[in-house]
Amino acid sequence: MKFIAIICLLVSGSALAQCNNSSHIFDIPYPKNSSYFAGQYAAQLDALTHGTQATEGYLLLEFKVNPIYSTEESHKYNKWLAERRIDRIKSYLSDSAYSAPVITRILTASHNVDRSVSIIWCPDEFEQTLVQVVSNDD
């Protein structure tokens, strides 16, 4: 039963992406219609990998898709592009041997016109929630 509770917790991305004690670290902006970030942000990601690996918690990558004034086709494209942007950051972190969990969230009802991925550190809420689920199962 514990195993099922843990799996349900891991699958429910929205529950994991609720980060109440978050620390906004920085944003990575993207040019219009591009999924490549500028090299200066690679240096910031490198610094991040050294700064957060020793602490417990997870990294939240969040992108806001603006649905206003978009057709269904453009909304699908914007969501796909948001996923590509986040995947580029995740791949960079993975290639850098980043060991903390990385959770992603795409907000599709945003009024944000910015094309940035927000990098947010969420201290050990994941572990606390996981412990609570396992403890409640006993």
pLDDT band at 68 (very low <50, low <70, confident <90, very high): low
Does the pTM surpass 0.75? The reply is no
What is the pLDDT, as a whole number, of residue 31? 92
> Cα(136)–Cα(9) distance, rounded to whole angstroms?
13
* Per-residue pLDDT reduced to its tens digit, 120-131: 988 875 455 554
Instruction: With a cut of 80, say whether residue 39 has pLDDT above it.
Output: yes
Instruction: Please say if the pLDDT value at position 91 is more than 50.
Output: yes
Q: Are 62 and 14 in contact (CB under 8 A)?
A: no
CATH number assigned to the domain covering 20-124: 3.30.1330.60
List the chain domain ranges: 20-124
Q: How far apart are CA 56 and CA 66, in angstroms?
A: 32
User: How far apart are the C-alpha atoms of 130 and 124, rounded to whole Å?
Assistant: 10
